[in-house]
Amino acid sequence: MNIKPFIIIMALCALPGCRTQRAAQSARRADTLCLRSERHKPVILDVDMCTDVDDVCALRIATALDDAGVISLRGVAYSVRGGNNIEAMRGMLVYDGKRRVPIGRTAVPNGPETSPYWDILAAYNDGRGRVYDAVTLYRRILASSKRPVDIITTGYVSNLEALIKSGPDKYSPLSGEELVRRRCGQLYVVGGSYPEGRDNNFFFTENARHAIWYITRHWPAPILFFRNDIGGRLRCGGGLQRADTARRDIVTRSLWAFGTADGRNAWDPFAVWAAAYSCGPITRLGFKRVDVEIDPATGRNRFADSPTGRHFVITAPADADAYYNHTMDSLLIVKARLGK
């Protein structure tokens, strides 16, 4: 399969930018989505790359779309801490040619301290790179950006809660909430059972439960949720595993280490791909306005359809599943090292 033309076509399919930075900041309404599809749009990716391997696929898709000019990957934050996870993140960024992308380390004790694939990724760590605490990473990037910065979080939203609560620092005299209001574009959150239920990203730890409850109430603009029933019916990585039978690529080895032989459910990679394209025509996605209720004690969520809802959830046609799966695998393969 000739992958590079496919990537070029996808990059050209992105719509032109809809606003200048000044107009986006002054004209944006507090009750609407901010879907911007200009080339090289700034993005911060926030992951919980530990208990599942779909985060590895999501980061690979982000680096491929950065190469294609669809996004500009400004930083990657961790919402879990422990073990050698920072070294693992740095190793994957080095492997994928993104040495200049800084990393944010969470201060919140979320998640496990081990992972079946951290050692695989950490083997490529060069011992360099810029590592900040996660809130500092966010504030630094938001304050210095000349354009609104989109945030895609594929794990717990604890870093975003801390950002909202943060105060002025050397990067900006603004509070966290005001900095987000002025400089953040769209927030995309992976998680939530539709219409109600429990999702790992919302209940796994006490901090995670409180954080999602807090964010749904205090984030100063509508959040777009990637519900787990849609990403869960998709697959990512199987095509790479079939193309890389020798297991030479770092993502292939991570998939095998996690225990899958034919890809993994695509909760996180699908969200990164769709958010990168601002959920535009290429993604074939729709949206519903919803009111969101979170039980901070249990993490149980409820999305209630409402024409005046504060937030949004995605909708996707079932007949597009094969298209989504092929598109995501193509992005994994285009950056894979399959040679000797």
- 138-183 pLDDT per residue, tens: 999 999 999 999 999 999 999 999 999 999 999 999 999 999 999 9
Q: Judge whether residue 76 has pLDDT over 60.
A: yes
pLDDT at 28: 55
**Residue 261 CA neighbour count, 13 Å, CB half:** 0
Distance CA 207, CA 299 (A): 10
Cβ atoms within 10 Å of 41's Cβ, excluding its own: 24
* DSSP structural state of residue 285: -
* Percent of residues, the chain, with pLDDT higher than 90: 83
Contact (Cβ atoms closer than 8 angstroms) between residue 141 and residue 149 = yes
Amino acid at residue number 89: M
Name the band, by pLDDT with cuts 50, 70 and 90, for residue 108.
confident
pTM for the full model?
0.91
- The alpha carbon of residue 66 and the mean position of all alpha carbons in its chain are separated, in whole angstroms, by 13
**Which residues neighbour 143 within 8 Å (Cβ) at sequence distance 6 or greater?**
171, 172, 174, 179, 183
Q: Judge whether residue 22 has pLDDT over 50.
A: no
Name the band, by pLDDT with cuts 50, 70 and 90, for residue 245.
very high
| DSSP track, 132-182 | EEHHHHHHHHHHH-SS-EEEEESS--HHHHHHHH----SS-SS-HHHHHHH
Cβ atoms within 10 Å of 153's Cβ, excluding its own: 29
Mean pLDDT of all residues in 208-234: 96
Average pLDDT of the residues of the chain: 91
Name the band, by pLDDT with cuts 50, 70 and 90, for residue 103.
very high
Distance CA 284, CA 231 (A): 14
pLDDT at 157: 96
| DSSP track, 172-236 | -SS-HHHHHHHHEEEEEEE---SSEE--HHHHSSHHHHHHHHHHHHH-SS-EEEE-HHHHTT-EE
The structure tokens listed for 104 are: 């944010």
Q: Is 328 strand, coil or helix?
A: helix
Tens digit of pLDDT for each residue in 307-316?
999 999 999 9
Distance CA 340, CA 338 (A): 7
Contact (Cβ atoms closer than 8 angstroms) between residue 108 and residue 158 = yes
Q: Judge whether residue 41 has pLDDT over 60.
A: yes
The structure tokens listed for 273 are: 């791909």
- Minimum mean pLDDT range among 202-211, 247-256, 320-329: 202-211
Distance CA 40, CA 197 (A): 36
The structure tokens 């109600």 sit at 196
By CB atoms closer than 10 A (0-12, 13-18, 19+), residue 259 is exposed
pLDDT at 154: 96
